[in-house]
Amino acid sequence: MCATPLSLKGRALRLLGGQEHSRAELERKLARFEEEPGALERALDELQAKGFINEQRVVESVLYRRAAKLGAARIQHELQAKGLDPDTVRSAVSALHSSELERARMVWRKKFLHAPQDAAERAKQMRFLAARGFSGEVVRRVVGGDDSNPDSVD
């Protein structure tokens, strides 16, 4: 039994069924299946007009899935990699800064049972948080336990 190949629109809908994708992501993923020049652009235009492709939903999806685990810098990188509008990315990331310190503390607590006992352990914990996209100031405050000025990092 031979299955008929999926149309570009069918492939796009299958991808969108799993999770939200930006238009740029769909273009990258589906370009190799385009047989007729302009067919992919027409298919994506139609899906966007019908509301299947929506930048704001992509942003909300990334924030919902990743904000509890990652810092603003890493989330900004992920949103930019999705080919989203720079202003949309900037506004989404600016909203994350107010909760950065508390999110970093939660990530740190989940991974480490205690404050660092020596310089090597401190460096390890700092690298862990930095790799997840938390700012240097936030990392220093979380690992160093400096809560003397809770309003200085927003």
Residue 122 and residue 128: Cα distance in Å, rounded? 10
Residue 8 and residue 21: Cα distance in Å, rounded? 15
CATH architecture of 7-53: Orthogonal Bundle (1.10)
Contact 125, 116 (CB under 8 A): yes
Which ranges of 7-71 would DSSP assign to H, the alpha helix? 8-18, 23-30, 39-49, 55-66
Per-residue pLDDT, 154: 38
Per-residue pLDDT, 145: 72
Residue 123 and residue 9: Cα distance in Å, rounded? 49
Domain chopping of the chain, boundaries: 7-53, 100-144
Per-residue pLDDT, 95: 87
Residue 19 and residue 13: Cα distance in Å, rounded? 10
Pick the CATH number of 100-144 from 1.10.10, 3.40.50, 2.40.160, 1.10.3470: 1.10.10
Per-residue pLDDT, 6: 80
pTM above 0.75, yes or no: yes
> Tell me: the pLDDT tens digits for 79-100?
999 999 999 999 999 989 999 9
Per-residue pLDDT, 45: 95
Q: What residues contact residue 27 under an 8 Å CB cut-off, 6+ apart?
A: 40, 44
Rounded to the nearest 10°, the torsion over CA 46, 37, 19, 5 is 100
Low-confidence ranges of the chain (pLDDT < 50): 1, 148-154
100-144 matches 7-53 in CATH topology: yes
